[in-house]
Amino acid sequence: MQLHNFLLVLAVIAGVMLAAHWMGLWIALGAHPWWSGSATWFGIGAGLIVAIFTYSLLPKSLKSTMIQAATFLVLALVALGVSTYGKAEFVGSYAEDAFAGRLWYLGFIGFTFSGYCMLVALARFGRWSRKNFE
């Protein structure tokens, strides 16, 4: 994938993540309605940095791309689990457990971060699958 195509992919995926926030998908997945916007922006920012590093430093092979996508999928699921656990504990304590609130918030930042990186890796995987079918 050439650099200008990669930058376009980064921008499009950031737009998709922001559209998911604006459409209320994050709230449906368990994000706090007030914090979902900042969690989305933090996740996109961190994901952008990591996506650029993985694009620059890791090998550009099909196997490496598949491993990246699978790793970020697992991280996204773990982060969503942490966020869900934090949400349940925070709500169960009637907003008294600050640690559970942090788990909820930081877990969702981890989810958006991992989701962004996973989508970038899947876009790179799409390049390989198109190349093999042409």
**In the numeric block, which tokens belong to residue 90?**
């925070």
Within 10 Å of residue 70's Cβ, how many Cβ atoms? Answer: 12
Q: Which domain holds residue 18?
A: 3-133
Mean per-residue pLDDT, 63-84: 95
**In the numeric block, which tokens belong to residue 67?**
């491993």
**Each residue of 88-124: pLDDT tens digit?**
999 999 989 999 999 999 999 999 999 999 999 998 8
Reference 17, options 115, 110, 83, 107; nearest CA is: 115
Residue 53 pLDDT greater than 60, yes or no: yes
Domain count, the chain: 1
**Each residue of 27-44: pLDDT tens digit?**
999 988 899 999 999 999
Q: What pLDDT score does 134 carry? A: 39
Q: Are 125 and 66 in contact (CB under 8 A)?
A: yes
Reference 51, options 100, 108, 12, 79; nearest CA is: 12
Mean per-residue pLDDT, 67-82: 96
